[in-house]
Structure 1
């Protein structure tokens, strides 16, 4: 009877692909996975967890006092001042229960209707915080898509948003999930409230919260290690991954974390992008806020990887994904899928999944974006602005080359410790798109010049000393500070092994004219065929070893591989699913259910 009840429950838009429960093998694999996550520092210790709770509580005291001051300053009665209230609630990874050591705390301050964002939050509260002991690196960003104040409170990074709701007195038990909270709210307020509402809805829509959390921790750790974790630069952020993981949990409601990680890559290597990932139907309420709908909104039709939030107003959380970053993520999905298949067949271990991606060995050409400022405070504001616009550089390169060149950002900054000035550097990997003729000249100088001009002209807080330089560098011209010690050791080890292999081939007369074989091509898909790329300097060699399959071709190829691994797993008693045809049918059903939104 219990099994019948489980089967009757449907959490998503379509029926689950499989109700298979974990075997002893999968249970062992999940224990091994959690050990790798613990060893990787994914979980925070109790002392740090207590400190974060204390900081949130101190922040609550601060904003309650601030709201009372504003109420008094605006001339309200003593009774109103006494009852004045503001709430501090968390969202993002903290609200989902998957935050780790050193991660930011995403917080939202909810205040009454008469306390506004522009003056009361970004000026009065800002002035209170700036004078507090323990607060440092305070950076207000009032004109962001979601206005935010960033700062450190006793060493912990805080992102603080503000939402003014239609209450004269904000009750302590305010129900954020109730859509009435959106009445009379402006769009920045709706976007600010969305983080909390989406997190709560995700936890309601997954069949097993603990399995969801462990799987999400794993996928966040994997994405960071593989260089595809950064929503601001066009990759996946925490919310995007949470939604993708939640959908896999819906498709495999009885699976444990080891199974869900494997199914995650199995599903999304075969997903028919840009078919949207949705946890529940999109509902267009009468409140008048726009929802994601390509039928009505032409801009929504240009989204490459739609991942739709489950709370009203439903939005595409991954609108920043570009052709270049989608191609980079799909390559990582395919690599991880192969490793997970090997893990299920006892041919590999979890450690292989989390091997770091060597960004600076994966491309022959790079764009180097150097920024400088007069002091640390100016640099913090300047680099925050530049980083938020790096996605535009990717889009400009794609547009000015008519899609012939892919521009993939490295989602972290670098600092040259030998330089005395305040500075940091970002890098973008350049790769020609499959099918582009060898030797074709590609000029991206217009794109880089437009980017630099827009960066300076559109930044309202620009001051003299804030500078930006974009240059083209070859792989062998990269500065030494981008290579950590283990990177150098690994490179030297690889060179030593390659030299040993070459010497052995020479001895056995297996090399012709001493030239390396085709297997010597870079792992990033680059070959040594000649081509030209005009940027701010020089020319270089670039090319392609193979082209990425279209979604249809990829599905066909993956089906062949999956059918083998599934059948082998079944014979070993590792899984009881019906093979890849079941997955393919399920994904086609996803397309059918959501076709009205394409």
Structure 2
């Protein structure tokens, strides 16, 4: 029995992966040159730590290993073991994540795992004696234990280096110094928290075993991590890609192009995943059933696995989907970014774009007209840290609820990071861009009303079992022109469109040629023709056109007091409704450059069909693919063949689950939702007042519904209806009357002011 994923070629060479490679060709001279340029670029933007910092990390890990060895001997002696057993007692430190993969940057955390014997318990010894030892050490600062997390962790800084320390309690009396945690037997007779804690190390080690060239893999992964952060798609908790997700995606490309250099691997990353037909899973090796009976990802047997939209499967037993957080909206955003990257890489092959173009920051606050702003506050720093972790784990639920309650017609784009208003102590805020699903016709005057959806989300958040006074959440709708100033660098709102926005407009001056490459505009620097740029350009043009009309394309009830750029959101502004007029929808329907349109959960158009954005390129003078194909069309067929075989058994269902799946990271912290909602209503004097909409029917009580919108929009107090409660709630009075706004008359002036 060989390692899963390791197979042999007909010529006797070792082959990695569950399918044949797409190309075995080596790099061209141009690939060598461009790879050197890429490495120089990555060094220039500060992605590599200094030698001094690297030495400091090694010293911290060495000290930490010494500390846990002293700790396990101390607790062994305290438990009455004889001196010989005390001396034999041992614990070991392992690393995983970006540090173990070799792609960490300056100031990055070190993900570490402490492996201890069976008599060293998690609660009393790890979060007891070891925590006490660390708290008394001068080198340790900002110690923050999280014992009740899904994967219990101790966070702290050791000599200024951030450390996340997990604990695995093995069923062994003595931990050997040469312990191999990759063996399946290590998982025997251990608890679920130990299995989860071991998973990070086991997956990381397996990834490094399943790539043909570790150094090439590392450079490519470092590049893709930087790209994901710059383009706003780096956040597992927000429903995008985290570090392990990107590592698995890059590792699969390395398997498909085993002899390629990073320059080609980056290009093929975008080409392959633009054409990938999700929910076909990405797998580095075959899924092992295992002999221990642990649950593995299997949509044939596990109902919850059937609804995963973008499965990326971990290679170590028990195999799991590392991207269960992905939603239809975030998948759409990532699909757009894959297409953009593919277009730019083709333009780079034609010397019409450079690495700066690929890594341009995504202009999030210029890309939408409407946003949801989620503000959270707490009494002190410790409360805010706990409250922040809880709320971040629930934000994905807001996206899912909006998708479900609007039947997928209203799409959310969550920003992966948080912002803080320095003038407000213990405050964070998050943003989500909102837009109607493109390509869907709508009757003039129809709008979305997501007020009940927002209230349902807030009730679920306030069900936090560790809730303390001062932990509050506010949800408000803001227009682009009213985005608060503190989210911009230096607190200064840009007075003119960004460079990215200008280049988006410039790209409208030229179209792609017959080979999919951009033609150079007269008298200007050529840039790639990008699908998302065309989309943003169209949005910008729509905004300009709408500012000239008396009727804006979108109108929502604003907060219960006038919104200024530096406003403090208030609770009544959580009532949101959206209107899209016929002009905007027609522009969306007629927009040819938008290639991705999610038809239903788990189904997106394939990128290898010419009508929805096929990737083509001129192969003249490029012999890289000569070993296996003579054209990109044949390469597409190879990708198609890859997805047609080993993935058929893992196709996800296209229906949407009846219930939204709770985030497992904090599932042990949730109260009974019905009881907590009742308590929230009874304590309305300590909670923000909310505005509601009348209940229309059982079908629309918990869902957003469409209704005509006239020139005047007015929000009136109504009884708070909680569909999940059997009790009759008391009316919730508004703290301040809501303002009636005439968007028809104010729209033109407001757009000009922006």
Fold equivalence (TM over 0.5):
yes
2:553 maps to what in 1?
A: 530
1:22 maps to what in 2?
A: 27
Alpha-carbon shift at residue 396 of structure 1 (Å) = 1.7
Q: TM-score under structure 1 normalisation?
A: 0.90
| Aligned-partner SS, 2:145 | strand
Task: Quote the Cα distance in structure 2 between the aligned partners of 1:454 and 1:170.
Answer: 43
Alpha-carbon shift at residue 469 of structure 1 (Å) = 1.2
Check 1:178–1:531 CA distance in 2 against 1; reply closer, same or farther (3 A cut).
same
| Aligned-partner SS, 1:385 | helix
1:32 maps to what in 2?
A: 37
Q: TM-score under structure 2 normalisation?
A: 0.72
Task: Quote the Cα distance in structure 2 between the aligned partners of 1:412 and 1:275.
Answer: 29
* Greater mean deviation of Cα atoms: 398-407 or 362-371: 398-407
1:510 maps to what in 2?
A: none
2:308 maps to what in 1?
A: 303
After the TM superposition, which residues 65-104 of structure 1 pair with which residues of structure 2 at under 5 Å, given as runs?
65-104=70-109
1:399 maps to what in 2?
A: 404
1:506 maps to what in 2?
A: none
Alpha-carbon shift at residue 124 of structure 1 (Å) = 2.6
2:447 maps to what in 1?
A: 441
Alpha-carbon shift at residue 408 of structure 1 (Å) = 1.9
Check 1:262–1:6 CA distance in 2 against 1; reply closer, same or farther (3 A cut).
farther
Check 1:579–1:496 CA distance in 2 against 1; reply closer, same or farther (3 A cut).
closer
Contact 1:137 1:377 in 2 (8 A): no
Contact 2:371 2:431 in 1 (8 A): yes
Check 1:422–1:560 CA distance in 2 against 1; reply closer, same or farther (3 A cut).
closer
CA offsets 1:236-275 (integer angstroms, 9 cap, x no match): 0111000000000111111100000000000000001000
Alpha-carbon shift at residue 202 of structure 1 (Å) = 0.8
Check 1:561–1:347 CA distance in 2 against 1; reply closer, same or farther (3 A cut).
farther
Alpha-carbon shift at residue 145 of structure 1 (Å) = 2.4
Aligned length: 574
Is 1:480 the counterpart of 2:485 in the alignment?
yes
Alpha-carbon shift at residue 552 of structure 1 (Å) = 3.6
Task: Quote the Cα distance in structure 2 between the aligned partners of 1:131 and 1:176.
Answer: 31
1:147 maps to what in 2?
A: 152
Please identify which structure carries the higher helix content.
1
* Greater mean deviation of Cα atoms: 343-352 or 443-452: 443-452
1:466 maps to what in 2?
A: 471
Aligned equivalent of 1:583, options 618, 623, 635: 635
For the pair shown, which has the larger CA radius of gyration, 1 or 2? 2
Check 1:518–1:226 CA distance in 2 against 1; reply closer, same or farther (3 A cut).
closer
Aligned equivalent of 1:342, options 333, 347, 366: 347
* Greater mean deviation of Cα atoms: 90-99 or 215-224: 90-99
Check 1:231–1:553 CA distance in 2 against 1; reply closer, same or farther (3 A cut).
closer
Is 1:422 the counterpart of 2:475 in the alignment?
no
Check 1:495–1:196 CA distance in 2 against 1; reply closer, same or farther (3 A cut).
closer
Task: Quote the Cα distance in structure 1 between the aligned partners of 2:287 and 2:61.
Answer: 33
Alpha-carbon shift at residue 126 of structure 1 (Å) = 2.1
* Greater mean deviation of Cα atoms: 86-95 or 129-138: 129-138
After the TM superposition, which residues 302-341 of structure 1 pair with which residues of structure 2 at under 5 Å, given as runs?
302-341=307-346
Task: Quote the Cα distance in structure 1 between the aligned partners of 2:18 and 2:229.
Answer: 30
CA RMSD of aligned residues (A): 2.7
Task: Quote the Cα distance in structure 2 between the aligned partners of 1:400 and 1:569.
Answer: 47
Check 1:429–1:582 CA distance in 2 against 1; reply closer, same or farther (3 A cut).
same
Alpha-carbon shift at residue 151 of structure 1 (Å) = 1.8
Task: Quote the Cα distance in structure 1 between the aligned partners of 2:433 and 2:403.
Answer: 13
2:620 maps to what in 1?
A: 570
2:664 maps to what in 1?
A: none
* Greater mean deviation of Cα atoms: 126-135 or 387-396: 126-135
Check 1:443–1:137 CA distance in 2 against 1; reply closer, same or farther (3 A cut).
farther
Contact 1:166 1:183 in 2 (8 A): yes
Contact 2:238 2:396 in 1 (8 A): yes
Alpha-carbon shift at residue 183 of structure 1 (Å) = 0.4
* Greater mean deviation of Cα atoms: 317-326 or 526-535: 526-535
Contact 1:25 1:574 in 2 (8 A): no
Aligned equivalent of 2:194, options 169, 177, 189: 189
Structure 2: gaps spanning 5 or more residues: 1-8, 507-533, 547-551, 558-572, 599-603, 652-754
Task: Quote the Cα distance in structure 1 between the aligned partners of 2:535 and 2:195.
Answer: 54
Check 1:222–1:6 CA distance in 2 against 1; reply closer, same or farther (3 A cut).
farther
Alpha-carbon shift at residue 160 of structure 1 (Å) = 0.9
Contact 1:373 1:422 in 2 (8 A): yes
After the TM superposition, which residues 479-518 of structure 1 pair with which residues of structure 2 at under 5 Å, given as runs?
479-484=484-489, 488=493, 491-492=496-497
Check 1:227–1:403 CA distance in 2 against 1; reply closer, same or farther (3 A cut).
same
Task: Quote the Cα distance in structure 2 between the aligned partners of 1:394 and 1:336.
Answer: 25
* Greater mean deviation of Cα atoms: 584-593 or 356-365: 584-593
CA offsets 1:53-89 (integer angstroms, 9 cap, x no match): 1111111122122212221222222222222111110
